[in-house]
C-alpha cells in the first residue's frame, strides 16, 4: 500500500483540484482498490433494497414461477395499493395478496404520534438523568448508574408480561399512553449514550456560568443541551427509528384501530397460517412505504448527525 495518508479526507470532495501534495498519481492503485472495496460494501447494502422493490412491484401469483427474474414479475402496483388500503378484498386475492383492510393514513398518524411521543419523552428524561450521572456529585452515583446499565441486560421476557398487566390495571390498554409508557421515561441505552457526551462538555463554561449564579436547571437548558445538540439529535433519530419499528409491544397493547400502529397493521402481510407463505409483494411494499417517513427524517437531519457527532466525550 502506498501512502494514502497524503490525501486528506477532504480531497475526495473536490477531485479535480488536487492539493499541492506530490504523489497524487502514485496513490491511485491503493485508492482505486479502496474505492472498489467501498463500492462493494455499498452494493451489498443496496442489493436487498433492489430486491424488495422488484418484489413489491411483482404479482404474487406469478412471482415464484419466475423466481430467477431480476425484473418485477408481471409488473403491478397492486401491492402498493394493498398497503395503502386502496384495493378491495377481491382485488387483493386476485394477486395472491392478503385481504385485510388497512386504513393506511390512520395507522401512519398513530405511528407518528407514538414514535414522536416516545422520542421526545425518552430523550428529554434520559438527558436529565444523564446530566445527574455526568455532572452532579451525589453519594452512590456510580452504583445507581451501574444498576441502570443492568437494565440493558434484563431479558425482555421478564418485562413484557408484568408491564402488560400493569398497563391493563392502569386502564391504559388500547390507549397511546399505554403503548408509549415503557419507553417514555428512559432506556438504559439513551442514558448511557448521553452521559458519555455530557462528560465531555467543557467544564470551564459551566463553572463560569455557575459563578454568575446560574443554577443546574439553567446550566442544563442553556449550556449542556445546546452544546450537545448533535448527539441529542442523533439519539433522537435512533430512538425514533426504534420506536417506529417496534412491533411486539404495540401488537399486545394497541389492538384497537384508533391506536394501531403501522408495523402492527402491516403484519397482515406476514404469513397468517402456520404453514402459509407471506404476501411477499405486500410485505416488501409495506416495508418500503413504512421506511419512507424515517428516510425523510434522515434526509432532514442526516447531514447534521453524520457530520457532527463529536465523540470528544468518550472517556
Partner 1 sequence: MNRNMRLLAGLALIPFVVTACGGGSGDSESGGAAKGTVNYWLWDANQQPVYEKCATDFHAKNPAITVKVTQKGWDDYWSGITTGMVSGTAPDVFTDHLAKFPDYMNKKQILPLDEFIEKDKIDTTIYEDGLAELWVGNDGKRYGLPKDWDTIALFYNKKLTDAAGLTPEQMGALAWNPTDGGTYEKAIAHLTVDKNGKRGDEAGFDKTKVKTYGLWMEGSGTGPGQTQWSMYTATTDWQFTDKNPWGTKYNYADPKFVETIKWWKGLADKGYMPSFKAQKGAQWSDQLAAGNVAMATNGSWMIGAVFGTKGITPAVAPTPIGPNGKRASMFNGLSDSIYAGTKNKTAAWEWVKYLASPACQDVVADAAVVFPAIKTSVPIAEAKFKEKNIDVSAFTVHLKDKTTFLFPITDHGADVEAIMQPAMDAAMTGTVDAAALVAANNQVNALFAQ
Partner 2 sequence: MAVEASPPLHRASMRGGRREAGVALLFLSPALLGFLVFFLWPTLRGFYLSLTEYSLLQPPEFIGLGNYQELVKDPQFWNSLKVTLEYVFINIGLQTTLALGLAVLLHRLTASTLLRGVVLLPYLIANVVVALLWYWMADYNLGVLNQVLGWLHISPIAFFGDSNLAIPTIAFVNVWRHLGYTALLIFAGLQTIPKDVYEAASMDGATEWQTFRRITMPLLRPVLFLVLMLTVIGSWQIFDTVAVTTRGGPVNATRVIQYYIYDRAFTRYDFGYASALSVVLFFILAGVAFAQFRLMRADESDLG
Interface with partner 1 (CB under 8 A)? 59, 61-67, 74, 89, 93, 96, 98-100, 140, 160-162, 164-165, 168-169, 173, 251-252, 255, 267-268, 270-277
Contact residue for partner 2 among 110, 111, 228, 263 (CB under 8 A) = 263
Residue 301 binds which entry of partner 1, partner 2, none, CB below 5-8 Å type-dependent: none
Question: Out of partner 2, partner 1, none, which partner does residue 133 contact, by CB within 5 to 8 A per kind?
Answer: partner 2
Task: Cell numbers for 146, please give them.
Answer: 451501574
CA atoms within 13 A on the CB side of 146: 4
- Does 22 engage in binding with partner 2 (CB under 8 A)? no
Nearest CA to 70 among 88, 56, 81, 54? 54
Instruction: Using the minimum distance from each CB to partner 1, give the nearer residue, 134 or 167.
Output: 167
62 binds partner 2 (CB under 8 A): no
Hey, is 145 helix, strand or coil? helix
310 secondary structure, DSSP code: -
CA-to-CA separations, 208 to 71, 205, 212, 300, in angstroms, rounded: 64, 5, 7, 35
User: Residues 274 to 303: which contact partner 2 by CB under 8 A?
Assistant: 278, 280, 283-284, 287, 291, 294-295, 298-299, 302-303
Tell me phi and psi for residue 273, to 5 degrees.
Answer: -110, 160
Helices (H), the chain: 24-56, 60-63, 78-83, 89-94, 104-135, 141-150, 156-169, 176-184, 188-200, 203-211, 216-218, 225-227, 229-245, 248-253, 262-266, 280-308
Among partner 1, partner 2, none, partner that 276 touches (CB below 5 to 8 angstroms by kind): partner 1
**Smaller CB distance to partner 2: residue 71 or 90?**
71
Which partner in partner 1, partner 2, none is near 99 (CB below 5 to 8 A by kind)? partner 1
Using CB distances below 5 to 8 A depending on partner kind, what does residue 205 bind out of partner 2, partner 1, none?
none
Nearest residue (CB) to partner 1, 255 versus 258: 255
Q: Provide the 3-class DSSP secondary structure of residue 13.
A: helix
**Beta carbon of residue 144, minimum distance to partner 1 (angstroms, whole number):** 8
Amino acid at each position: 500500500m502506498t501512502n494514502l495518508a497524503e490525501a486528506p479526507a477532504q480531497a475526495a470532495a473536490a477531485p479535480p483540484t488536487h492539493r499541492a501534495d506530490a504523489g497524487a498519481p502514485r496513490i491511485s492503485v491503493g485508492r482505486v482498490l479502496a474505492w472498489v472495496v467501498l463500492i462493494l460494501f455499498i452494493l451489498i447494502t443496496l442489493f436487498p433494497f433492489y430486491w424488495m422493490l422488484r418484489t413489491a412491484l411483482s404479482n404474487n401469483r406469478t412471482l415464484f414461477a419466475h423466481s430467477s427474474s431480476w425484473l418485477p414479475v408481471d409488473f403491478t402496483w397492486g401491492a402498493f395499493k394493498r398497503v395503502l388500503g386502496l384495493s378491495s378484498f377481491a382485488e387483493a386475492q386476485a394477486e395472491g395478496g392478503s385481504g385485510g383492510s388497512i386504513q393506511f393514513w390512520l395507522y401512519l398518524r398513530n405511528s407518528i404520534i407514538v414514535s414522536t411521543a416516545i422520542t421526545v419523552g425518552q430523550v428529554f428524561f434520559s438527558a436529565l438523568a444523564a446530566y445527574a450521572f455526568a455532572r452532579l456529585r451525589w453519594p452512590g452515583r456510580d452504583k445507581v448508574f451501574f444498576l441502570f446499565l443492568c437494565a440493558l441486560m434484563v431479558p425482555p421476557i421478564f418485562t413484557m408480561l408484568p408491564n402488560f398487566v400493569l398497563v391493563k390495571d392502569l386502564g391504559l390498554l388500547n390507549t397511546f399512553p399505554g403503548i408509549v409508557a415503557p419507553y417514555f421515561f428512559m432506556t438504559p441505552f439513551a442514558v448511557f449514550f448521553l452521559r458519555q457526551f455530557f462528560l465531555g462538555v467543557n467544564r470551564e463554561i459551566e463553572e463560569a456560568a455557575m459563578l454568575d449564579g446560574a443554577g443546574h436547571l439553567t446550566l442544563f437548558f442553556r449550556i449542556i443541551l445546546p452544546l450537545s445538540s448533535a448527539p441529542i439529535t442523533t439519539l433522537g433519530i435512533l430512538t425514533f427509528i426504534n420506536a417506529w419499528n417496534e412491533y411486539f409491544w404495540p401488537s399486545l397493547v394497541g389492538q384497537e384501530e384508533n391506536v394501531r400502529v403501522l408495523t402492527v397493521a402491516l403484519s397482515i402481510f406476514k404469513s397468517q397460517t402456520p404453514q402459509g407463505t407471506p404476501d411477499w409483494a405486500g410485505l416488501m411494499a409495506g416495508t418500503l412505504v413504512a421506511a419512507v417517513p424515517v428516510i425523510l427524517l434522515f434526509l432532514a437531519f442526516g447531514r447534521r448527525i453524520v457530520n457532527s457527532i463529536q465523540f470528544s466525550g468518550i472517556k
